A and B are shown apart, each in its own frame.
Chain A
Amino acid sequence: MDQLADTIQSALNGDLDAFNQIVLEFQDQVYYQAYRIMGERGAAEDATQEAFISAYRKLQTYRGGSFKSWLLRIVSNACYDELRRRKRQPVAPLIPRDDHGEEFDSPSWMEDQGEKPEQFLSRAELSDAIQHCLDQLDVNFRTAVVLIDLQELDYASAAEVVDVPLGTIKSRLARARLSMQECLSRFGELLPVDLRHDGEAEQI
């Protein structure tokens, strides 16, 4: 930890090589956080790079404490910014029209042409199944479960990262876990045997 403090001090003095040592030490965790929030590798890479650039420029605002939490906060904010930016972008209309400009009456166009859960089951690994379920959550709930169950932060650190009261983190985490439980129950075959419910995962 003292070594990290020295490295941070060197980086504060403008030593870019020292900061790059920090990058190498934390880049897996930062990328993992970005990937679990964004759900896409490309977007996660962009958010990670953006977060490290931002961290370098804001390094003087680091006031001690867990450096990992500080970095996770920056990358989480970078992800939120990107998600908000995507929301603001205009999207193609969901309701298709025929050649005469009339809307299709049939709801068949709404049918998911992507793979069904069964198909997904046969291909995906556990990590992808978890990501699939995370993507179904609201970003605030997703962040809570990523910070505590995937990054294994304690409640206080997680609350600090997302800048909310401890009670909010507890509530978000509990509800997120319940949602994850319901979603993951569809991927029982992917779960380790000892984690399946009564032999065949009707429920986790």
Chain B
Amino acid sequence: MTISKQDLILLSSYLDSELPPGQKSRLEDRLLEEEDLAEAFKALSRTRTVLRSAPSLKAPRNFTLTPAMVSEGKQSSWLDAFQALRLASAVAAVLLAAVLVLDFGPGLAPVRLQEAAPPAVMEKAAPSGGDQVESQAMPSPQDEEEQETMLEAPAEEETAEDALQEEERAERPEQEGQPPEQPQEEKGVFREQPPEDQPRAELPPDAPPVDWMLIAEIVLAVTAAGLAGGAYFARKQAR
């Protein structure tokens, strides 16, 4: 008794009622006519019955999970953490590099010096108002006109570097216990006409300048180092 592979598939599917109606009726006709096919079908049917009569097995124990089972070997989560930390570390490093370039890049140092200058000095260098620092860093067309006007006045030709030197001179006697002599005019400018839109005017005149670039560098360096360390730890855990 030999039947083709195709007939075997037909018989098997017919056994499980998985044949489309057309194929089913054609096969039923053939089963009535072909003895070998009918014999093969009976044998296949018996096999199926034997298989389905096999006793089902019970689980030999309970497979319930404990919190330890669920938490242990969480490699994928550590790997995810590693990937995230690695990316964040790379971003922080790039940001740090960008800040360093801005900090030490050619032509950018004066901006930092001007930003570091205390308000009183800046006031002197730019008596027209507190916008001077911003206008020198990023001059707008209007500000440029004002600057031109200011540059024409002899008293206003001092650069920010000159102002810094003057400030250092003013600070020196103060450190030695002698209060610096400030010109009455300057005191008057500072005390009597505080610029309304100058945020640094709220700082005391002798407050140390806030170096935001330096702070940003430190924060980014610490962040990058921390993230890199975290990525290393996560990688180690995942392994």
A28 CA / B58 CA spacing, docked (Å): 5
B52 and A127 contact, CB distance less than 8 A: no
What residues of chain B lie closer than 8 Å to A126, measured between beta carbons? 50, 53-55
A204 and B50 contact, CB distance less than 8 A: yes
A126 CA / B53 CA spacing, docked (Å): 9
B200 contacts A by Cβ under 8 Å: no
What residues of chain A lie closer than 8 Å to B18, measured between beta carbons? 154-155, 170
B140 contacts A by Cβ under 8 Å: no
**Least Cβ–Cβ distance between A201 and chain B, in angstroms:** 9
B67 contacts A by Cβ under 8 Å: yes
A 5-32 binary contact with B (CB < 8 Å = 1; else 0)? 0000000000010011001100110111
**Least Cβ–Cβ distance between B225 and chain A, in angstroms:** 32
What residues of chain A lie closer than 8 Å to B46, measured between beta carbons? 181, 195, 197, 204
- Please pick, from A19, A152, A181, A184, the residue contacting B52 in the complex, using a CB distance under 8 A: A152
**Least Cβ–Cβ distance between B1 and chain A, in angstroms:** 9
A140 contacts B by Cβ under 8 Å: no
B47 contacts A by Cβ under 8 Å: yes
The number of chain A residues with a CB under 8 A from chain B is 45
- Please pick, from B11, B51, B56, the residue contacting A149 in the complex, using a CB distance under 8 A: B51
A30 CA / B16 CA spacing, docked (Å): 23
What residues of chain B lie closer than 8 Å to A152, measured between beta carbons? 52
B105 contacts A by Cβ under 8 Å: no
Give residues 171-189 of A contacting B (CB, 8 Å): 171, 173-175, 177-178, 180-181, 184
A174 and B57 contact, CB distance less than 8 A: no
B61 contacts A by Cβ under 8 Å: yes
B57 and A31 contact, CB distance less than 8 A: yes
**Least Cβ–Cβ distance between A38 and chain B, in angstroms:** 12
A49 and B51 contact, CB distance less than 8 A: no
- Please pick, from A48, A49, A53, A178, the residue contacting B44 in the complex, using a CB distance under 8 A: A178
What residues of chain A lie closer than 8 Å to B13, measured between beta carbons? 155, 170, 174
What residues of chain A lie closer than 8 Å to B64, measured between beta carbons? 20, 23-24
A203 and B69 contact, CB distance less than 8 A: no
**Least Cβ–Cβ distance between A5 and chain B, in angstroms:** 20
- Please pick, from A24, A175, A177, the residue contacting B5 in the complex, using a CB distance under 8 A: A175
A85 CA / B67 CA spacing, docked (Å): 27
Can you report 17 A-B residue pairs in the complex whose CB atoms are below 8 A from each other? A16-B65, A23-B62, A27-B62, A28-B56, A31-B59, A48-B59, A56-B70, A57-B70, A57-B76, A130-B51, A155-B16, A170-B18, A174-B12, A181-B44, A195-B46, A197-B46, A204-B47
Report A's interface with B, CB cutoff 8 A.
16, 19-20, 23-24, 27-28, 30-32, 35, 41, 45, 48-49, 52-53, 56-57, 126-127, 130, 145, 148-150, 152, 154-155, 170-171, 173-175, 177-178, 180-181, 184, 191-192, 195, 197, 203-204
Closest 7 CB pairs of A and B: A174-B12, A149-B51, A31-B59, A20-B64, A181-B47, A174-B9, A27-B59
